[in-house]
Amino acid sequence: MIDLRSDTVTLPTPEMREAIASAEVGDDVYGEDPTVNLLEEESARLLGKDAALFIPSGTMGNLAAVLTHCERGSEIILGDKSHIFLNEAGGAAALGGIQPHIIPNQKDGTLRLEDIREAIRFDDIHHPRTRLITLENTHNMCGGAALSAVYTRSVGEIAQEQGLKFHLDGARIFNAASALGVDPADLVQPLDSVMFCLSKGLGAPVGSMLCGDAEFIHRARRTRKMLGGAMRQAGLIAAAGLYALRHHLPLLTEDHRRARDLARGLADLSGISLLDLEPPSNMVYLKLDPDLPYDAAVIKEKLKGHGILIGYENLRLIRLVTHLWIRDQDIPVVIQGFKEVLS
Ligand code: TLP
């Protein structure tokens, strides 16, 4: 099967499995797992932060950050297409009593600076207290858009001016750095906390990292414990993450090139149109024409018969994601599959 549903579907490579098998481990709740400690150090260094924390998933990483920054009854400003708002089961509200204040994501994944300023509450006993601004980079539901360092800095200035914390859902921050050709540390410099995933384009089976200053990470360690996310001999999975960070970062540009090749091949097909003619990272979004007689669920089923797995965000919007296990020779097969299904 050519599986384009997500970059979460990657399986560990044989070399990664070897790294897992030979990992040195200890009890990480006691801080005694050398492989976890190394992964945390290398992650922090890559992003230019003091410290990092190994977390079982991206969802838990974002939640741990939000719970560490905010108290009950406070408010976070975030985009209406953000993963935290749409796809994390309302965790901040359900478990933290923290209210989302959503403002529209622009097509390029940004939030307008004037919308952010307007959303910040002034001091009044009627209001919840604004505590946090969050961005997402790359922005999944905005076509995999990469947000620039200049833009992120301008949001950071508002946060600092207003005494707010600033968090990044950087599940795919290395895709963003690769797409923009910049150092990831530059992209996250103004942020108080950054979550990134090892289990997406980097190809590890499990795990995400939460990075920030030492004091924040110290408090986040307690939050992770509270959420049941503190693990014991976690070096076994941290070893896969370390392997991914050391070997797979340069491969992301290949995923992006394959996404562009795929988009180019699909651009002329009738019945669909591309969200971006040049996809910014590893995601190709396809809109179905209103007069196409079948929806994304039908197309998904038909493509399965051609050995192709796809995902959709709604019945008129398909998402194709390239990753470590999509090879050059798969691209023409997928284009041909769509041709036949749409004809
Ligand atoms: N995204 C998944 C699905 O949940 C939609 C995917 O297939 O893309 N932030 C962003 C921007 C994400 O895209 C995801 C996962 C997460 C956080 C959550 O990571 P996990 O799945 O590890 O909890």
Predicted local distance difference test score (pLDDT) of residue 332: 98
Predicted local distance difference test score (pLDDT) of residue 76: 98
Predicted local distance difference test score (pLDDT) of residue 335: 98
In the chain, CATH 3.90.1150.10 sits at 251-342
Predicted local distance difference test score (pLDDT) of residue 65: 99
Alpha-carbon distance of 180 to 178, in angstroms, equals 5
Ligand 1 atom 19: residue of nearest CA: 58
Predicted local distance difference test score (pLDDT) of residue 181: 98
Question: Are the beta carbons of 238 and 36 closer than 8 angstroms?
Answer: yes
Ligand 1 atom 5: residue of nearest CA: 87
Does ligand 1 have an atom closer than 6 angstroms to the CB of 270?
A: no
Predicted local distance difference test score (pLDDT) of residue 207: 98
Alpha-carbon distance of 226 to 232, in angstroms, equals 15
First to last CA, the chain: 22
Ligand 1 centroid, distance to 330 Cα (angstroms): 24
Atom in ligand 1 nearest the alpha carbon of residue 138 = 11
Alpha-carbon distance of 339 to 77, in angstroms, equals 42
Atom in ligand 1 nearest the alpha carbon of residue 136 = 11
Return contacts of 274-278, CB within 8 angstroms, 24+ apart.
275/143, 275/317, 276/143
Alpha-carbon distance of 68 to 221, in angstroms, equals 9
Residue 135: in which H helix or E strand, if any? Answer: strand 129-136
Ligand 1 centroid, distance to 110 Cα (angstroms): 18
C-alpha dihedral, 62 to 68 to 74 to 77, nearest 10°: -40
Predicted local distance difference test score (pLDDT) of residue 278: 96
Does ligand 1 have an atom closer than 6 angstroms to the CB of 193?
A: no
Does ligand 1 have an atom closer than 6 angstroms to the CB of 40?
A: no
CATH top-level class of 251-342: alpha beta
Q: Give the residue ranges of the chain where pLDDT is below 70.
A: none
Atom in ligand 1 nearest the alpha carbon of residue 199 = 22
Predicted local distance difference test score (pLDDT) of residue 145: 98
Please list, in sequence order, all residues whose beta carbon lies within 8 angstroms of the beta carbon of residue 138, skipping any fewer than 6 positions away: 109, 144, 145, 146, 147, 172, 173, 175, 176, 179, 280, 281, 283
Ligand 1 atom 6: residue of nearest CA: 6
What's this model's pTM, rounded to 2 decimal places?
0.98
Predicted local distance difference test score (pLDDT) of residue 141: 97
Does ligand 1 have an atom closer than 6 angstroms to the CB of 197?
A: yes
Ligand 1 atom 4: residue of nearest CA: 87
Does ligand 1 have an atom closer than 6 angstroms to the CB of 282?
A: no
* Tokens linked to 104: 């529209």
Predicted local distance difference test score (pLDDT) of residue 339: 97
Return contacts of 31-35, CB within 8 angstroms, 24+ apart.
33/233, 33/234, 33/235, 33/238, 34/235, 35/234, 35/235, 35/236, 35/238, 35/239, 35/242
Atom in ligand 1 nearest the alpha carbon of residue 208 = 22
In the chain, CATH 3.40.640.10 sits at 9-247
Question: Are the beta carbons of 317 and 273 closer than 8 angstroms?
Answer: no
* Tokens linked to 314: 């709604």
* Tokens linked to 60: 């838990």
- Find how far residue 50's CA is from the centre of its chain: 21
Predicted local distance difference test score (pLDDT) of residue 326: 98
- For 9-247, CATH number out of 3.40.1710.10, 3.90.700.10, 3.40.640.10, 3.40.47.10 equals 3.40.640.10
Predicted local distance difference test score (pLDDT) of residue 27: 98
Ligand 1 centroid, distance to 123 Cα (angstroms): 34
Predicted local distance difference test score (pLDDT) of residue 234: 98
- 140, 147, 202: which to mutate for ligand 1, most atoms within 8 A of CB? 140
Does ligand 1 have an atom closer than 6 angstroms to the CB of 87?
A: yes
Predicted local distance difference test score (pLDDT) of residue 110: 98
- 135, 139, 193, 197: which to mutate for ligand 1, most atoms within 8 A of CB? 197
Does ligand 1 have an atom closer than 6 angstroms to the CB of 336?
A: no
